[in-house]
Amino acid sequence: MSIRPLDVLNDSLGSPVIVRLKGAREFRGELQGYDVHMNLILNNAEEIREGESQRKLDSVIIRGDNVVYISPPENSK
């Protein structure tokens, strides 16, 4: 049985992720939800620019058409 991309997202629910967006923006936070369009909900989020935290947010909704990639944080490897 093959693994589908949304299965990977489902396995990441409740875990920290880094989301890279078009325009080189990044958000780090706990993945709380997603839909088939890859719209994402992150809790305890922070915006990252040039490797530095710019601002902290309780939650953020990210439109899927802006997502370049979703990855676990580097320190969780």
Q: What does pLDDT average to in each consecutive run of 10 residues of the chain (77 residues)?
A: 79 94 93 94 93 90 95 67
Its CATH architecture, for the domain 5-71, is Roll (2.30)
Beta-carbon-side half-sphere exposure of residue 74 (alpha carbons within 13 Å): 1
How far is it, in rounded angstroms, from Cα 2 to Cα 45? Answer: 31
How far is it, in rounded angstroms, from Cα 18 to Cα 68? Answer: 11
pLDDT of residue 43: 97
